[in-house]
Amino acid sequence: MGKRIVLTGGGTAGHVMPIIALLDELRKEGFELHFVGTEDGIEHSLMSRYDDVSYHAVSSGKFRRGLSFGNIKHNFVDVFNVLKGIKQAKRLIAEIKPDVVFSKGGYVSVPVVMAAKNKAHIVIHECDYTPGLANKIASRYADDICVSFEDTLDCFKGKGVYTGTPIRRELLSGDRSAGLEFLDFDGKKPILLIMGGSLGAKAINDAVTGAMDELVSRFDIVHICGKGKRKDALESIAGYRQIEFIADELKDVFACTDVMLTRAGANAVFEILSLAIPAILVPLPKEVSRGDQLKNAAYFARKGYSVEVEQRELDSKRLVDELTKLYDNRKKYIAAMTKADGADAVDRVMDVILKKKG
Alpha-carbon torsion (196, 202, 204, 209), positive or negative: positive
| pLDDT, position 1 | 56
The C-alpha atoms of residue 85 and residue 14 are separated, in whole angstroms, by 22
Fold of the 172-338 domain: Rossmann fold (3.40.50)
The C-alpha atoms of residue 239 and residue 215 are separated, in whole angstroms, by 10
Given the DSSP bridges, would you call strands 259-262 and 144-147 parallel, antiparallel or unpaired? unpaired
Same fold, 3-162 and 172-338: yes
Give 31: exposed, middle or buried? Use CB within 10 Å, 0-12, 13-18, 19+.
buried
CATH architecture classification, 3-162: 3-Layer(aba) Sandwich (3.40)
Q: Give domain limits for the chain.
A: 3-162, 172-338
Q: Are the CB atoms for 38 and 60 separated by under 8 Å? A: yes
Percentages (nearest 5) of helix, strand, coil residues in the chain = 45, 15, 35
E strand residue ranges, the chain: 3-8, 31-37, 53-57, 100-103, 121-126, 144-147, 160-162, 191-195, 220-224, 240-243, 259-262, 279-281, 307-308
Q: Are the CB atoms for 264 and 293 separated by under 8 Å? A: yes
Backbone conformation region of residue 24, classed left if phi is above 0, alpha if psi is from -120 to 50, else beta: alpha
Q: Are the CB atoms for 196 and 263 separated by under 8 Å? A: yes
Q: Are the CB atoms for 160 and 152 separated by under 8 Å? A: yes
Q: Across the 358 residues of the chain, what is the mean pLDDT of every consecutive 10-residue run?
A: 90 88 97 95 92 93 51 55 88 97 93 95 95 91 96 92 94 97 96 78 85 96 84 88 89 98 92 96 85 93 97 94 98 96 87 75
**Non-local CB neighbours of 271 within 8 Å, separated by 6+ positions:** 167, 171, 254
